Amino acid sequence: GAAGAARGAALAAAALTALALAVAAWRRARPVREVLFFPSRPCCIEALLAEAAEPGAPARPCPCPLPSGDTALSRLVRRLLSARRSLDLCLFSFSCPQLARAVQLLHRRGVRVRLVTDAQFMGLHGSQIGRLRHAGIQVRHDQHSGYMHHKFAIVDRRMLITGSLNWTTQAIQNNRENVLVVEDAEYVKAFQDEFERIWEEYNPANYSFFPERR
Amino acid sequence: GAAGAARGAALAAAALTALALAVAAWRRARPVREVLFFPSRPCCIEALLAEAAEPGAPARPCPCPLPSGDTALSRLVRRLLSARRSLDLCLFSFSCPQLARAVQLLHRRGVRVRLVTDAQFMGLHGSQIGRLRHAGIQVRHDQHSGYMHHKFAIVDRRMLITGSLNWTTQAIQNNRENVLVVEDAEYVKAFQDEFERIWEEYNPANYSFFPERR
């Protein structure tokens, strides 16, 4: 009868809800595994930055001529902007203004950003290091010969972003590059430990004023 | 009695054998997950090369003064030498003679080696590309502006070796670098597909003799 049909519909609805909840939980629990290949099409990341700065605010269209599609760059920015507590950066060169804006935004939002970079590249034209330091972000660099050639980021001590890509617009738009996104405790721990080692070693309190010859 | 004790000992031995077999199977089945950090201490890899060239042959001590210990470089060489069928290399720069010898050895042993590299770096002083080509290894390079900046290797379409490290002695001995070793079908497939795309794109049959301006 009608009562039976209603009960059947209610049961079906409950089953669907349970299924949806299970899928959502599985999605949340499933570790991120992603590979990004470059070059990336140039794209506008204003909408991503605006949403990260003020979640839920009405979108304002950006006047720039770039498309705001799904690109390797926009995916990289999304992963970075997912940081809630900490962002540890270990970057040979960092001159891409778009990525610098994403990092600054996280810093303003209260995420603890630490940045290690290469002494020989940080002063080059276009480097974003000075700007990030001005914004109050802690930066340390080596004082040795040999390059600090890593290009990795760790989000919330949980997600590793690493590859061949230097954070320069030239590399993003023109080079063949790869970036792995790995949410795996074993790999993350190895890189987090390496970060902490370098962070301590590059502590300005340890600087010698008679550095080894380059 | 004695018969019971003998039966007990036989059972124990059988159990231990089963356990040892299970551990060996688990070891074989367990995917490789490794992170190598550089700089690496300089080391002698002659023993590794000799063992790979002639497995089981009596070790001849190398007259060189370098230690032959467990280093990031020796681990990288070991992973490469584990190739049995194929080695696909996608390397921005390749000037390290030790790694070139390992690759040549694999080629001589019948492993199918393919190498993609960057046109602007392959001709530099110290590059091993010419030597590898002379040895009969297939090499392809880009004809574009922008760098072919990848630094990865795929062993037997099964194990991905990727990171920040260019295959130069300078980088191995002096730089802060990372290399991930990942035996994971999802990551390997992404890089294998990228390799095949580049390999086809750089097919000399497609060269234009009026390349775009650099």
pLDDT digits (tens, 9 = 90+) for A185-203: 999 999 999 999 999 999 9
- Model-level pTM? 0.85
Q: Which of A33, A148, A175 sits opposite B146 (nearest CB)?
A: A175
- What architecture is domain A32-206? 2-Layer Sandwich (3.30)
Per the prediction, chain A carries an average pLDDT of: 91
The minimum CA-CA distance between B11 and chain A, rounded to whole Å, is 38
Residue of chain B nearest A148, judged by CA positions: B176
* Catalytic annotation, pick one of A151, A184, A189, A193: A151
Furthest-apart CA pair in chain B: how many Å?
Answer: 92
Q: Do A146 and B176 touch (CB under 8 A)?
A: yes
Q: Would you place residue A213 in the very low, low, confident or very high pLDDT band (cuts 50, 70, 90)?
A: very low
Question: Between these two residues, A122 and B199, which has the higher pLDDT value?
Answer: B199
Phi, psi of A6 (to 5 degrees): -65, -45
Q: Which of A162, A177, A191 sits opposite B149 (nearest CB)?
A: A177
Percent of chain A with pLDDT over 70: 95
Q: List % helix, strand, coil for chain A (3-state, nearest 5).
A: 45, 20, 35
| First-to-final CA distance of chain A | 88
Mean pLDDT of A75-101: 97
The whole-number pLDDT of residue B69 equals: 85
The whole-number pLDDT of residue A24 equals: 77
* Cis bond before residue B97 (omega within 30° of 0): no
Interval B43-57: pLDDT, tens? 999 999 999 999 888
Q: Would you place residue A26 in the very low, low, confident or very high pLDDT band (cuts 50, 70, 90)?
A: confident
- Per CB-CB distance under 8 Å, the chain A contacts of B35 are 187, 190-191
Helices (H), chain B: 2-29, 46-53, 72-81, 97-108, 119-122, 129-134, 169-174, 185-201
Beta bridge partners of A116: A90, A140
Q: Do B150 and A39 touch (CB under 8 A)?
A: no
Mean pLDDT of B168-177: 96
Q: Do B150 and A176 touch (CB under 8 A)?
A: yes
Residue of chain A nearest B141, judged by CA positions: A176
Specify the residue for token string 């070059």.
A39
User: Does residue A69 register a pLDDT over 80?
Assistant: yes
The whole-number pLDDT of residue B213 equals: 46
The whole-number pLDDT of residue B214 equals: 42
Q: Do A151 and B164 touch (CB under 8 A)?
A: yes
Q: Do B194 and A142 touch (CB under 8 A)?
A: no
Interval B83-113: pLDDT, tens? 999 999 999 999 999 999 999 999 999 999 9
Q: Would you place residue A210 in the very low, low, confident or very high pLDDT band (cuts 50, 70, 90)?
A: low
The whole-number pLDDT of residue B173 equals: 95
Q: Do B164 and A150 touch (CB under 8 A)?
A: yes
Mean pLDDT of A134-148: 90
Length of chain A: 214
Phi, psi of A22 (to 5 degrees): -65, -45
At CA B210, angle to CA B205 and CA B212, rounded to 5?
A: 105
The whole-number pLDDT of residue A46 equals: 92
What does the alpha-carbon distance between residue B171 and residue B149 come to, in Å, rounded to a whole number? 15
Tell me which residues of chain A have a C-beta less than 8 Å from any C-beta of chain B.
33, 35, 37, 39, 92, 142, 145-152, 162-165, 171, 174-178, 180, 186-187, 190-191, 194, 198
Mean pLDDT of A20-44: 87
Most confident of B5-19, B102-116, B198-212: B102-116
Mean pLDDT of A1-29: 83
* Catalytic annotation, pick one of B88, B141, B151, B189: B151
Question: Between these two residues, B88 and A55, which has the higher pLDDT value?
Answer: B88
Residue A206 tokens, joined: 């340890």
Is B149 a residue of the active site?
A: yes
Is B151 a residue of the active site?
A: yes
Q: Would you place residue B211 in the very low, low, confident or very high pLDDT band (cuts 50, 70, 90)?
A: low
Question: Between these two residues, A81 and A69, which has the higher pLDDT value?
Answer: A81
Q: Do A191 and B175 touch (CB under 8 A)?
A: no
User: Does residue B210 register a pLDDT over 70?
Assistant: no
For strands A112-117 and A86-91, give the pairing: parallel
- Per CB-CB distance under 8 Å, the chain B contacts of A33 are 186-187
What does the alpha-carbon distance between residue A74 and residue B70 come to, in Å, rounded to a whole number? 40
